[in-house]
Amino acid sequence: MALKELIKPGKQKLRIDLALSIAWLALVFLHPFFGYDRIISEYDIFLKAAILSINFLVSLIFFYPMSCGLAFVWDLAKKKKQSSRWELAAAVFFILFFNPIFVSCAAITLNHLNDSMNKPCGAEITGFAEESAARDSGMSVGEDIVSMDGYPVDTVENLKHILGGKNPGDYVTVKTDKKEYRIAVQRNQDKSEKVIGVILTQRYCPI
């Protein structure tokens, strides 16, 4: 069996690929480590559907080699086919390096490396919620929030903590790298958090 035959699409491979992709997406969107639960809560239904569709397509493509490897090993174990050492090595390689555990470990490792070489230094505005007091105040995408009510904002979590002590309707003074704004605190769409209607990305600076 050549490599071409190993990765040739088949019903069994596609079923495995589909199951892996659904399981991975469930983990990514539900586990707070990845941050998708916070990001998704700020988008409208159409953007949510688009983000989910794109991630699902990427997952199908990424996990397909692993699906091929698993299907190959399964058939080999059931003695439906014979293989050379090279073919078995290729299947094992696909399983080891194109799987959710490897991806998760790589993400955690890269996150720790980033933390060891850089320090949090602000929260960059990358978008706005459908209903956004921040956007209404004149804020723009690309600005970095550096403080709120006089308290420094080094991390996204820091900003959420400050907002947690406010009530909807309260006004906060938000200073960015460009300007200072007075913004009314609101609740997000599912009413679970107090927000100002911004979508943020953590900024890091070299230590």
Cβ partners under 8 Å of residue 151, min gap 6: 158, 162
Residues 75 and 13 in one domain: yes
pLDDT of residue 80: 66
Name the burial class of residue 59, with classes exposed (0-12), middle (13-18) and buried (19+) by CB atoms within 10 angstroms of its CB.
Answer: buried
How many CA atoms, within 13 angstroms, populate the side-chain half-sphere of residue 104? 11
Residues 92 and 134 in one domain: no
**Residue 109 resides in a domain:** no
Contact 7, 65 (CB under 8 A): yes
pLDDT in tens, 107-144: 778 777 766 777 888 899 999 988 899 999 999 999 99
State the CB neighbour count (10 A cutoff) for residue 143. 20
End residue of a domain, out of 98, 129, 145: 98
Quote the tokens at residue 123.
């929260």
Whole-angstrom Cα distance, residue 181 to residue 121? 19
Query: Strand 171-176 vs strand 144-148: parallel, antiparallel, or unpaired?
Result: antiparallel
| Cα→Cα distances 59→2, 71, 94, 105, 109, Å | 25, 17, 14, 16, 20
**Residue 22 resides in a domain:** yes
Determine the Cα angle at 1 with ends 68 and 98, to 5°.
25
End residue of a domain, out of 33, 65, 98: 98
Contact 145, 153 (CB under 8 A): yes
**Domain that residue 133 falls in:** 119-206
CATH code for the domain of 178: 2.30.42.10
Query: Strand 180-184 vs strand 171-176: parallel, antiparallel, or unpaired?
Result: antiparallel
Residues 78 and 136 in one domain: no
Number of domains in the chain: 2
**Residue 57 resides in a domain:** yes
Residues 84 and 171 in one domain: no
pLDDT of residue 176: 94
* pTM summary value: 0.53
Q: Which residues of the chain have pLDDT under 70?
A: 1-2, 32-44, 80-81, 114-115
End residue of a domain, out of 69, 98, 127: 98
**Residue 75 resides in a domain:** yes
User: Across the chain, what does the average pLDDT equal?
Assistant: 85
pLDDT of residue 19: 93
Backbone angles phi, psi at 93, to 5 degrees: -60, -45
